[in-house]
Amino acid sequence: MSITYLETTKNVYKEAAENPQVGLCCTTTPIWQLPGLDIPVIMQRMNYGCGSTVHPRDLVNNPKILYVGVGGGMELLQFAYFSRQTNGVIGVDVVDEMLEACNRNFLEAEQANPWFKKDFVQLKKGDALNLPVEDASIDVAAQNCLFNIFKQEELKQALKEMYRVLKPRGRLVMSDPTCEQEMSKELREDERLRALCLSGSLPLWDYIKMITDAGFGTVEIRAKRPYRILDPKNYPTKELLFIESVEVCAIKDPMPEDGPCVFTGKAAIYYGNEECFDDNKGHVLLPNQPLAVCDKTAAALSKLNHPELFISDSTYFYDGGGCC
């Protein structure tokens, strides 16, 4: 059965491959400046993502990398910058014209970057809903600004596929728009706006729940930034809608018995005069040294009502370390 919004999405990206559209998506991160990395202008013009999914600390020990929804290939080039091995990165896309454009852009990238070889990236035709990739074969999987387009059933399937191809402890790094306000049915059902990453976004916690329901035991919210405004003059909405863009890393850790660990940038600080505070559950706090905690641990520590324990709010900029 063909689902019409998925067909509309393919057509939108066939068009965007043939006629690059600057500003089709609204990237919220600056173009990377790294020693020896020269990103061809055509890749920058075809940057159809929101945040970034390339984080050097995910890329130690020669990981096998999968990137779904290739666009102009900019993030594939960035992953290859760290990986630098033949077929070290697999890029999957369902739109032939996008794969062709990406391949052409790699030829330019080869001219501009002496270290880069086109065969560092293996481009494959395939669907996010049925990945042409073996079970448990990938260390780091990524997608930028594709999954927000999917409706619930397809999103569930796309996450299931990512979970399937990841090795145990493998990481799924994603960037997508999110929106806390309710959108009108007209906006939700507009296939073109959905394909353009404007009307499919979920509230952050609904998005996280989809990820943890897929089985990921740990989730890190690494960044959250303003993305777009949809205003009543230009879109079918009665109120002004504020859309943000998030960067998330979901780790294929076993699911803890008491539920997933979700890090949103909270920290616990003990400010008493004892040598340390120990909750006897593995969290030892030294005086005035913040310990990054997942939301579950933050809630458990708050419940203690300890007079010398401070739990900070979520910053939504979690940067590693801490409990669990």
Smallest gap from Cβ 283 to ligand SAM, in A, equals 37
Q: Which CB sits closer to ligand SAM, 9 or 199?
A: 9
Smallest gap from Cβ 32 to ligand SAM, in A, equals 13
The CB-side HSE value for 171 (13 A sphere, CA atoms) comes to 20
Smallest gap from Cβ 141 to ligand SAM, in A, equals 12
Site for ligand SAM in 186-225 (CB under 6 A): 197
Put residue 71 in one of left, alpha, beta given phi > 0 → left and psi -120 to 50 → alpha.
Answer: left
Q: Is 145 in the site for ligand SAM (CB under 6 A)?
A: yes
Residues touching ligand SAM, count (CB under 6 A): 24
CB 153: neighbour CB atoms within 10 A?
10
Q: Is 70 in the site for ligand SAM (CB under 6 A)?
A: yes
Q: Which two tokens stand for residue 217?
A: 């035991």
- Single out the segment in contact with ligand SAM by CB under 6 A; choices: 8-16, 221-229, 253-261, 285-293: 8-16
The H or E element that residue 225 is part of is strand 218-230
User: Which residue from 89, 138, 146, 165 is in contact with ligand SAM, where contact means CB under 6 A?
Assistant: 146
The interface mask with ligand SAM, positions 33-62, x = CB under 6 A, is --------------xxx-------------
User: Which residue from 68, 109, 133, 243 is in contact with ligand SAM, where contact means CB under 6 A?
Assistant: 68
Smallest gap from Cβ 287 to ligand SAM, in A, equals 44
DSSP state of 227: E
CB 98: neighbour CB atoms within 10 A?
26
DSSP string, 119-135: GGEEEEE-BTTB-SS-T
User: Which residue from 5, 26, 65, 75 is in contact with ligand SAM, where contact means CB under 6 A?
Assistant: 75
Asked if 13 and 102 count as a contact pair (C-beta separation under 8 A), the reply is no
Q: Which CB sits closer to ligand SAM, 91 or 260?
A: 91
DSSP string, 171-223: EEEEEEEE-SSPPPHHHHH-HHHHHTTSS-PBPHHHHHHHHHHTT-SEEEEEE
Q: Is 131 in the site for ligand SAM (CB under 6 A)?
A: no
Residues in the chain: 324
Smallest gap from Cβ 112 to ligand SAM, in A, equals 18
Q: Is 69 in the site for ligand SAM (CB under 6 A)?
A: yes
Q: What angle do CA 87, 249, 256 make, to 5 degrees?
A: 115
The CB-side HSE value for 162 (13 A sphere, CA atoms) comes to 34
User: Which residue from 5, 9, 230, 266 is in contact with ligand SAM, where contact means CB under 6 A?
Assistant: 9
Site for ligand SAM in 11-30 (CB under 6 A): 13, 25
Sheet of 266-270: strands edge to edge? 291-293, 266-270, 309-311
Sheet of 89-93: strands edge to edge? 121-125, 89-93, 65-68, 138-144, 166-178, 241-251, 218-230, 261-263
User: Which residue from 144, 178, 212, 297 is in contact with ligand SAM, where contact means CB under 6 A?
Assistant: 144
Q: Is 123 in the site for ligand SAM (CB under 6 A)?
A: no
Residue nearest to ligand SAM (CB): 49
User: Which residue from 59, 95, 248, 250 is in contact with ligand SAM, where contact means CB under 6 A?
Assistant: 95
Asked if 292 and 316 count as a contact pair (C-beta separation under 8 A), the reply is no
Catalog residues that contact ligand SAM under the rule CB under 6 A.
9-10, 13, 25, 47-49, 68-71, 75, 92-95, 98, 127-129, 144-146, 197
